Structure 1
Amino acid sequence: MTAAAAAVGLSHSPLIGKNDPSPKVLAAVESAVGQARSFVRDFDPELVVLYAPDHYNGFFYKEMPPFCLATGAHAVGDFGSSAGPLSVDTDAARALARSVLDQGIDLTVSARMTVDHGFVQPLEVLFDGIDRVPVVPVFVNGVATPLGPVSRIRALGRALGLAAAELDRRVLFLGSGGLSHDPPVPVLDGAPPRVADALIDGHPPTPEQRARGEERVVQAGRDYAAGTSRMIPINPAWDNQVLDTLASGRLAEVDAWSTEWMGAEGGGSAHEVRTWIAAFASLSATGDYRMTSLFYEPVPEWIAGFAVATAQQETSR
């Protein structure tokens, strides 16, 4: 593969390996992931720009940016994911940040970003670890309201795509997030004082508190799969609308997607698709692209519309 840029969209879930679907569904997911791994191996990226959300492990209401680029990052190791430093390419991150700011995007920069499974899972799945490939992590807020317009996420992705083209390296844009899903993520509005303080100030949980919180999420997945949960159902129709929009390259259409519509159609965490929008906007900035593989499956056990997609440049502009 000779393209200078490629993209992968990959859903994540903290319930993978803890509350799995039937062997048939699991085999289909593993086959799609295997295709993505082969795609990435063939492309052989020299840099990964990783767009991912946070689940109140690194970003809190004390300061909640709509998006933030890291020049250094450390993973907390939630839900059994890897803990420790990511192999951030600091020089590349700084160069990308400067270019994006010069393009008029109000980018926040973190020299010591804390990340969770949303960043870690795709690196583990595609590269077998968080330290195997140079990476520039980019946080994209997908849960903490108020959320800004989707048009700004597309603009961010485009700006980073143009900036990455200046590096003259093979760059993989990787979007990490579920499609429609409504997991039990805490909400600040109406939260009791203890929960509100944690969401605002970000007090690190004790190991016991983290274990109890993670077990609640696992149980929520079991209840959801059993049909005894009040969480918003997975919406395959909406998921496929999102995927069709990305596959067709009609990215400008997302500018008309309201935050209210996305939440009503896809659930409280549907805004994680902003990571996919950013990744494909980055790829589109460097030339027309085509999807080379696309997999989708609603997986109640993981509380997620689960998708895997790969794309590559078709022509240069």
Structure 2
Amino acid sequence: MTAAAVGLSHSPLIGKNDPAPDVLARVDQAVSAAKDFIRDFDPELVVLYAPDHYNGFFYKEMPPFCLATEAHAVGDFDSAAGQLSVDTGAAKLIAKGVLDRGVDLTISARMIVDHGFAQPLETLFGGIDRVPVVPVFVNGVATPLGPMSRVQALGTAIGRAADELDLRVLYLASGGLSHDPPVPVLDGAPPRVADALIEGHAPTPEQRAKGELRVVQAGRDYVAGTSTMTPINQEWDNRLLDLLEQNRLGEFASWPVDWMGEQGGGSAHEVRTWLAAYASLAAGGPFDLKYRFYEAIPAWIAGFSVTTALRQ
């Protein structure tokens, strides 16, 4: 069965706090390479692994993983809003296959997703409704976080279940590498913030706009060197990419949870989506990394990467 994978970093600051033109040109070239790869592969189904930023998942019930049989994007940070083209039949079969393989998985019949899901679909396919997709939420922000080995187990189970569909499947990972944006945390939060993180009250347009402006300003402070956020860790990022390129997923999956945050910042656990996607690809055999791009982009508060891979 033919399968492929693409990793693509996202950032809410794309188009708002952009880096120098030469950096943008390199990113555009990398994205074009990924789009060419996808066009040549011609996927019949995309399994999209992405995090959430307290737009769809909250502490009232916070699963480590959740697969959607239907999904709607909220449209934050100017990303597209509306229904994703979820392949409900494929989603249900994959979910059953994962559970049959002994991996616990939450199912959502009405998942709410944000720019983490919408950006890669818009960037690579031209819209959130252009390709049959199975969205899979992977928690990378809300503590406590489970061991990386469970992420590998999830990806492997999904890969084996998807192989039974007899389709050309693209596993798509959405997430920054090392980055430390101003994401709220529950521990020590004032009552109003804590209630929002737990109950998930939808913000008013004014509240959402105010929150997005705070993120934009944080990006500007980061570039100016006046921020206390953890610096982008290029060595850590490239070590991760080396392990992917060398098919050494077991080493990636053994990384300690607390160490990852220390090395890569508060949102470095978005790399869980990368492990899940590549574990899905590796479930059917070794893979070749066909393309690898990396650049530290402070304006986007992210170690930014694009990769493509094809199963051997």
Same fold, judged at TM 0.5 (above): yes
- Residues paired across the two proteins, number: 312
SS in 2 for 1:163: helix
Residue 305 of structure 1 aligns with an amino acid whose one-letter code is G
Query: Where in structure 1 are there 5+ consecutive unaligned residues?
Result: none
How big is each residue's C-alpha offset from its partner over 1:127-163, in whole Å with a ceiling of 9 and x where there is no partner? 0000000000000000000000000000000000000
Note if contact 2:42-2:168 (Cα within 8 Å) is conserved in structure 1: yes
SS in 1 for 2:134: strand
For the aligned residue pairs, the C-alpha RMSD in angstroms reads: 0.6
SS in 1 for 2:207: helix
Match of 1:197 among 195, 198, 203: 195
- TM-score, structure 1 as length reference: 0.98
Q: Where does residue 238 of structure 1 map in the other structure?
A: 236
User: Per-residue deviation at 1:255?
Assistant: 2.9
Q: Is 33-42 or 248-257 further displaced after alignment?
A: 248-257
User: Per-residue deviation at 1:254?
Assistant: 2.1
Q: In 2, distance between residues paired with 1:301 and 1:169?
A: 39
Residue 96 of structure 2 aligns with an amino acid whose one-letter code is R
Q: In 2, distance between residues paired with 1:4 and 1:81?
A: 31
Q: In 2, distance between residues paired with 1:130 and 1:255?
A: 30
Q: Where does residue 89 of structure 1 map in the other structure?
A: 87
Q: In 2, distance between residues paired with 1:246 and 1:277?
A: 8
Q: Is 2:199 the partner of 1:216? A: no
Q: Where does residue 117 of structure 1 map in the other structure?
A: 115
User: Per-residue deviation at 1:80?
Assistant: 0.3
Q: Where does residue 137 of structure 1 map in the other structure?
A: 135
Q: Where does residue 289 of structure 2 map in the other structure?
A: 291
Match of 2:104 among 96, 102, 106: 106
- TM-score, structure 2 as length reference: 0.99
How big is each residue's C-alpha offset from its partner over 1:198-248, in whole Å with a ceiling of 9 and x where there is no partner? 000000000000000000000000000111100000000000011101111
Residue 65 of structure 1 aligns with an amino acid whose one-letter code is P
Q: In 2, distance between residues paired with 1:85 and 1:19?
A: 27
Q: Where does residue 78 of structure 2 map in the other structure?
A: 80
Match of 2:161 among 160, 163, 188: 163
How big is each residue's C-alpha offset from its partner over 1:25-67, in whole Å with a ceiling of 9 and x where there is no partner? 0000000000000000110100000000000000000000000
Query: Where in structure 2 are there 5+ consecutive unaligned residues?
Result: none
User: Per-residue deviation at 1:300?
Assistant: 0.1
User: Per-residue deviation at 1:251?
Assistant: 0.4
Residue 298 of structure 1 aligns with an amino acid whose one-letter code is A
Q: Where does residue 47 of structure 1 map in the other structure?
A: 45
How big is each residue's C-alpha offset from its partner over 1:167-218, in whole Å with a ceiling of 9 and x where there is no partner? 0000000000000000000000000000000000000000000000000000
Q: Is 2:69 the partner of 1:63? A: no
Q: Where does residue 309 of structure 1 map in the other structure?
A: 307
State the identity %: 74
Q: In 2, distance between residues paired with 1:9 and 1:99?
A: 24
Q: In 1, distance between residues paired with 2:187 and 2:244?
A: 32
Q: Is 2:4 the partner of 1:6? A: yes
Q: In 2, distance between residues paired with 1:33 and 1:106?
A: 34
Q: In 1, distance between residues paired with 2:284 and 2:168?
A: 12
Q: In 1, distance between residues paired with 2:156 and 2:87?
A: 20
Q: Is 99-108 or 252-261 further displaced after alignment?
A: 252-261
Q: Where does residue 226 of structure 1 map in the other structure?
A: 224
User: Per-residue deviation at 1:108?
Assistant: 0.5
Q: In 2, distance between residues paired with 1:160 and 1:255?
A: 16
User: Per-residue deviation at 1:256?
Assistant: 1.9
Note if contact 2:151-2:253 (Cα within 8 Å) is conserved in structure 1: no
Note if contact 2:54-2:197 (Cα within 8 Å) is conserved in structure 1: yes
Q: In 2, distance between residues paired with 1:170 and 1:4?
A: 5
Q: In 2, distance between residues paired with 1:247 and 1:84?
A: 35
Q: Where does residue 252 of structure 1 map in the other structure?
A: 250
Q: In 1, distance between residues paired with 2:256 and 2:200?
A: 28
Q: In 2, distance between residues paired with 1:7 and 1:80?
A: 26
Q: In 2, distance between residues paired with 1:250 and 1:142?
A: 21
Q: In 1, distance between residues paired with 2:240 and 2:224?
A: 27
